[in-house]
């Protein structure tokens, strides 16, 4: 049985297309890097908000710029993205004999760059906007809506179906790739007009011998010198990023696994904190009774009492729901918390 199905996951010896495992592995490489970097930036911002807070607030934009520089460098010099080059692959268009060190053609290069760096950034920002809008809708009163508001809500309702259709397309494309019915495993490669192929021995030799760029000469104009300096600086940043990622990619994947949702039970068992003692009330009995009824967040009398299991404090449901979902910790003790730790309190009198 294994011999009959082996051809589904391996390419034929005469073919230069990678197996489905190699294609999916290079896809998952960059998707594992961003969450790990995000966690590292979160630790820095928590330890020193004044210095590193801007990295946390503008992480998406900073990551998108660095990702674009990195992918532009590799597409120009190796005809592949960083993750594809890491696995010894390259992108080829209609002219499959084109050497990797020559880079992609202009149209294929910019299509690939936009789909690799800009499209994930826009998708991530759209997901955050929609999540924030859903949270606001949970606690808002529905008023008469204008045509644009109705159109916007129709888009919110249709967006999950659009995502489902896209995921279905990706699945079908990968299934056809397994059976050899298509040359690309991803719709993004199809939209860019390229396919994946192995680097040849000549490609590897040419990449090793490729010079960094033309030397400056006194006869060049100021514009040409400026372009050369910018290109050299961008190349240096890209080389530094690629070297750092190549060295730390396995460490980043370990961090991504460690903080994944599937591993949270293990993390909680190793990093669980003791339940704090109940607060001491030093005022009179009447003042203490009134103080207990005040929400620590809004400083008003609590409505819809809800306790946070990690710390034992009681808040208004709306206050603590919004805070924990945004900050993932207790506002008073700082203990790591999630929405699953919210416990509604019901009085005996109903």
Q: Which sequence spans correspond to the domains of the chain?
A: 20-208+232-262, 292-349
For the chain, the straight-line distance linking the first and the last C-alpha, in angstroms and rounded, comes to 63
Name residue, tokens 């696994």: 257
Q: What is the pTM of this model?
A: 0.61
Name residue, tokens 């489902």: 164
Q: What is the mean pLDDT of residues 97-106?
A: 81
Output the CATH code of domain 292-349. Answer: 3.30.40.10
Closest CA relative to residue 174, chosen from 187, 161, 193, 165: 187
Residue 55 CA to residue 193 CA, distance in Å, equals 35
> Residue 165: pLDDT above 80?
yes
Distant-in-sequence, close-in-space partners of 98: CB < 8 Å, separation ≥ 6: 79, 92
91-95, 142-146, 318-322: range with lowest mean pLDDT: 142-146
pLDDT band at residue 204, thresholds of 50, 70 and 90?
A: confident
- Report helix, strand or coil for 314: strand
Which H or E run includes 126?
Answer: helix 119-138
**Per-residue model confidence as pLDDT tens digits over 147-159:** 777 787 788 778 8
Q: What is the mean pLDDT of residues 208-219?
A: 54
What is the reported pLDDT for 268?
61
Residue 74 CA to residue 85 CA, distance in Å, equals 8
**Per-residue model confidence as pLDDT tens digits over 255-312:** 666 666 566 666 566 555 666 666 555 444 444 454 568 899 998 888 889 999 988 8
What is the reported pLDDT for 170?
92
């Amino acid at each position: 049985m294994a011999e009959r199905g082996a051809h589904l996951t391996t390419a034929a010896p005469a073919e230069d297309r990678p197996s489905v495992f190699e294609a999916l592995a290079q896809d998952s490489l960059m998707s594992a890097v961003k969450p790990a970097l995000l966690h590292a930036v979160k630790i820095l911002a928590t330890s020193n908000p004044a210095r590193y807070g801007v990295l946390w607030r503008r992480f998406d934009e900073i990551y998108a710029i660095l990702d674009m520089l990195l992918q532009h460098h590799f597409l120009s010099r190796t005809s592949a993205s960083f993750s594809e080059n890491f696995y010894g692959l390259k992108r080829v268009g209609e002219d499959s004999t084109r050497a990797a060190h020559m880079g992609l053609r202009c149209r294929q290069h910019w299509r690939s760059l936009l789909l690799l760096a800009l499209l994930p950034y826009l998708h991530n920002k759209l997901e955050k906007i929609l999540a924030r809008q859903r949270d606001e809708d949970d606690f808002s009163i529905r008023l008469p809506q204008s045509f644009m508001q109705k159109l916007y809500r129709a888009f919110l309702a249709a967006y999950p179906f659009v995502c489902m259709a896209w995921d279905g397309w990706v699945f079908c494309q990968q299934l056809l790739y397994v059976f050899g019915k298509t040359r690309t495993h991803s719709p993004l490669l199809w939209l860019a007009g390229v396919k994946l192929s192995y680097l040849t021995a000549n490609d590897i030799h040419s990449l090793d011998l490729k010079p960094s760029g033309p030397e400056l000469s006194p006869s060049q104009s100021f514009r040409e010198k400026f372009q050369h300096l910018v290109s050299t600086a961008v190349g240096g940043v890209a080389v530094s990023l690629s070297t750092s990622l190549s060295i730390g990619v396995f460490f980043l994947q370990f961090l991504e696994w460690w903080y994944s949702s599937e591993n949270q039970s293990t993390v909680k068992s190793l990093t669980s904190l003791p339940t704090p003692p109940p607060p001491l009330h030093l005022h009179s009995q009447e003042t203490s009774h009134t103080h207990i009824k005040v929400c620590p967040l809004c400083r008003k009398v609590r409505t819809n009492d809800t306790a946070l299991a990690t710390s034992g404090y009681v808040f208004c449901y709306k206050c603590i729901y919004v805070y924990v979902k945004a900050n993932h910790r207790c506002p008073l003790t700082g203990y790591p918390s999630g929405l699953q730790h919210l416990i509604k309190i019901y009085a005996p009198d109903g």
